[in-house]
């Protein structure tokens, strides 16, 4: 039995993309500032409400996709900033203090670039994020045009649009721009997802079964009853410098004196997985059976001689259950930016990850792992160094050079300062209201 008590959730009143990813290959993320006419703003919310995909609808779409292969089913979701509730004159707004303060207020905590330098959509008067998804880009364009028409009619301003596009490897797995399988490890809530993991490698070493009420679901103060739920939704635009990252990977391989075939271990130690997703703590080359099992922890690698402590996935989830479980987030990110089909181009800008995650407590989850784990030279122990992927500030020489195993499984260490090549371009904290909550906000 899954840990989540589904009798306490109205799945028809819950937005999709929280308990499971929406799975569409293309998205448009529309950042909107409401106009001054409250009646028109409410009318816009009413229109969006007719489009928003509930979890029930998302599940029906998924079943239809599996049964018939129909691939152009739209997905819509709505996320609101704290300021949106103020504009709508709502006093009972979601309570998380970080949500109420906004992401820019955490700039020092997160070592983010100053908010005035962020990309245009991420401005203090941002009110809403409308996420539209489709597996066909032409269909997505039509849905976006329709939504922009409504935004204009409401006297609202489109502050900017961030387009997401899934990248895949030859096996069809989603990857990020550095070339590594992403999204493999997630907290799971539905029994069929948990059963799927049990069938693909087991769940005894890492149990992905999480209680959604301790991970992603909180009460929606505007909802119709106690089964009306929402989530705090983190959005961060993270630009990746692919060329510099690949150069750094080669420099690390050289420091470790790895020959051509073994050179991939360098990148695998930085990420914690080989490009195909094989965990480096389990073996010294890629190629584990597909789908790659996620049933592992670091107990048999206690000294970090296979997956170093600073490796991205080890920093971000040390897999000490149950103590680290309060940090776990459902990640819903998607890459942005176009690449050559063979990914042989090496962009230095214009590509990256639209990082998104569902939280019940922003301090306890997102901010804690970014600040106290990724950015912290001394986690889990003094001298560890920053996360080589997302340690902040990116593009700066790390205060502490990370220490890399001289060879896979070797106790000897080689210092090499692996600078993160990810730049934060802006972001915000949102709340994903229930469908009944949106209805109430619209009336
Ligand atoms: C451009 C930025 C990023 C890149 C390129 C990136 C890349 C990756 C990759 C390749 C994986 C392995 C696939 C998997 O285990 O699911 C991963 C896992 C993960 N990442 Fe990131 N990531 C980025 C940003 C972030 C951020 C901002 C956070 C949180 C603050 C984060 C947290 C995690 C977590 C929790 C995991 C799963 C670890 C596990 O459960 O073993 N990542 N990331």
> Could you report the per-residue pLDDT of 75-126, keeping only the tens digit for each?
999 999 999 999 999 989 999 999 999 999 999 999 999 999 999 999 999 9
pLDDT at position 70 over 80? no
Better-predicted residue by pLDDT, 1 or 414: 414
Contact in structure between 153 and 42 (CB atoms under 8 Å): no
What pLDDT does residue 372 have? 98
Confidence of residue 174 (pLDDT cuts 50, 70, 90): very high
What is the average pLDDT score of the chain? 96
Ligand 1 centroid to Cα of residue 414, in Å, is 24
Looking from the CA of residue 374, the nearest atom of ligand 1 is 30
pLDDT digits (tens, 9 = 90+) for 294-329: 999 999 999 999 999 999 999 999 999 999 999 999
The residue whose C-alpha atom lies closest to atom 13 belonging to ligand 1 is 182
- 3-class DSSP state of 236: strand
What pLDDT does residue 399 have? 77
Please state the length of the chain.
Answer: 443
Whether pTM exceeds 0.85 = yes
pLDDT digits (tens, 9 = 90+) for 116-165: 999 999 999 999 999 999 999 999 999 999 999 999 999 999 999 999 99
Q: Which residue among 295, 313, 349 is best mutated to probe the pocket of ligand 1, counting the most ligand atoms within 8 A of its Cβ?
A: 313
The residue whose C-alpha atom lies closest to atom 35 belonging to ligand 1 is 316
Confidence of residue 13 (pLDDT cuts 50, 70, 90): very high
Ligand 1 centroid to Cα of residue 51, in Å, is 30
Ligand 1 centroid to Cα of residue 374, in Å, is 11
Ligand 1 centroid to Cα of residue 33, in Å, is 30
What pLDDT does residue 394 have? 84
What pLDDT does residue 329 have? 98
Across 372-390, average pLDDT: 95
Q: Which residues are catalytic?
A: 195
Confidence of residue 69 (pLDDT cuts 50, 70, 90): confident
CA distance 53 to 201: 32
Looking from the CA of residue 369, the nearest atom of ligand 1 is 30
Across 50-61, average pLDDT: 97
What pLDDT does residue 260 have? 79
pLDDT at position 1 over 90? no
Q: Please report where in the chains the tokens 């502050």 appear, as a residue.
A: 159
Q: Which residue among 173, 390, 395 is best mutated to probe the pocket of ligand 1, counting the most ligand atoms within 8 A of its Cβ?
A: 390
Domain boundaries, the chain: 6-171+212-237+427-442, 240-424
pLDDT digits (tens, 9 = 90+) for 175-219: 999 999 999 999 999 999 999 999 999 999 999 999 999 999 999
What pLDDT does residue 398 have? 77
Ligand 1 environment, Cβ below 6 A: 176, 178, 180-185, 238, 240, 271, 273, 312-313, 316-317, 352-353, 355, 366, 369-370, 389-390, 422
pLDDT at position 397 over 80? no
What pLDDT does residue 211 have? 98
CA distance 75 to 132: 6
Confidence of residue 430 (pLDDT cuts 50, 70, 90): very high
The 3-class SS string of the chain reads CCCCCHHHCCCCCCECCCCCCCCCCEEEEEEEECCCCHHHHHHHHHHHHHHCCEHHHHHHHHHHHHHHCCCCCCEEEEEECHHHHHHCCCCCCCCCHHHHHCHHHHHHHHCCCCHHHCCCCCCCCCCEEEEEEECCHHHHHHHHHHHHHHHHHCCCEEEEEEEEECEECCCCCEECCCCCECCCCCCECCHHHHHHHHHCCCCCCCCCECCHHHCCCEECCCCCCCCCEEEEEEEEEEEECHHHHHHHHHHHHHHCCCCHHHCHHHHHHHHCECCCCCECCCCCCCCCCCCCCCCCCCHHHCCCCCCCCCCHHHHHCCCCCCHHHHHCCEECCEEECCCCCCCCCCCCCCCEEEEEEEECCCHHHHHHHHHHHHCCCCCCCCCCCCCCCCCCCCCCCCCCCEEEECCCCCCCEEEECCCCCEEEEEEEEEEECCHHHHHHHHC
């Amino acid at each position: 039995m899954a840990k989540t008590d589904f009798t306490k959730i109205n799945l028809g009143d819950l937005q999709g993309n929280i308990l499971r990813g929406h799975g569409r290959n293309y998205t448009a993320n529309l950042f909107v500032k409401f106009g001054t006419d409250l009646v028109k703003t409410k009318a816009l919310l009413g229109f969006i409400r007719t489009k928003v995909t509930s979890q029930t609808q998302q599940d029906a779409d998924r079943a239809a996709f599996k049964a018939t292969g129909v691939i152009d089913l739209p997905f819509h979701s709505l996320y609101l900033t704290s300021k949106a509730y103020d504009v709508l004159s709502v006093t009972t707004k979601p309570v998380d203090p970080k949500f109420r303060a906004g992401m820019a207020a955490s700039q020092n905590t997160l070592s983010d670039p100053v908010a005035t330098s962020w990309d245009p959509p991420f401005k203090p008067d941002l009110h809403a994020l409308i996420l539209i998804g489709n597996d066909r880009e032409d269909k997505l364009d039509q849905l976006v045009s329709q939504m922009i028409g409504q935004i204009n009619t409401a006297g609202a301003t489109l502050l900017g649009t961030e387009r997401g596009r899934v990248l895949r490897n030859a096996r069809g797995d989603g990857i990020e721009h550095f070339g590594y399988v992403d999204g493999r490890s997630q907290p799971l809530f539905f029994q069929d997802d948990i059963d799927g993991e049990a069938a693909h490698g087991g769940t005894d070493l890492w149990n992905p079964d999480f209680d959604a009420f301790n991970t992603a679901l909180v009460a929606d103060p505007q909802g119709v009853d106690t089964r009306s739920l929402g989530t705090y939704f983190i959005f961060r635009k993270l630009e990746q410098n692919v060329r510099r990252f690949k150069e750094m990977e080669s420099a690390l391989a050289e420091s470790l004196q790895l020959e051509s075939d073994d050179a991939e271990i360098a990148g695998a130690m930085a990420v914690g997985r080989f490009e195909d997703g094989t965990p480096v703590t389990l073996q010294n080359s890629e190629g584990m059976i597909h789908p790659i099992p996620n049933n592992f922890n670091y107990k048999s690698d206690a000294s970090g001689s296979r997956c170093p402590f600073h490796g991205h996935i080890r920093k971000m989830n040390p897999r000490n259950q149950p103590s680290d479980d309060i940090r776990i987030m459902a990640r819903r990110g998607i890459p942005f930016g176009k690449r050559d089909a063979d990914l042989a181009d090496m962009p230095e800008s214009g590509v990256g990850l639209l990082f998104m995650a569902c939280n019940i407590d922003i301090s306890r989850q997102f901010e804690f792992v970014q600040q106290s784990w990724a950015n912290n030279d001394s986690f889990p122990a003094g001298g560890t160094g920053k996360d080589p992927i997302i340690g902040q500030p990116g593009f700066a020489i790390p205060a502490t050079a990370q220490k890399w195993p001289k060879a896979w499984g070797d106790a000897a260490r080689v210092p090499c300062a692996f600078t993160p090549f990810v730049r934060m371009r802006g972001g915000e904290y949102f709340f994903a209201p229930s469908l009944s909550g949106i209805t109430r906000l619209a009336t």
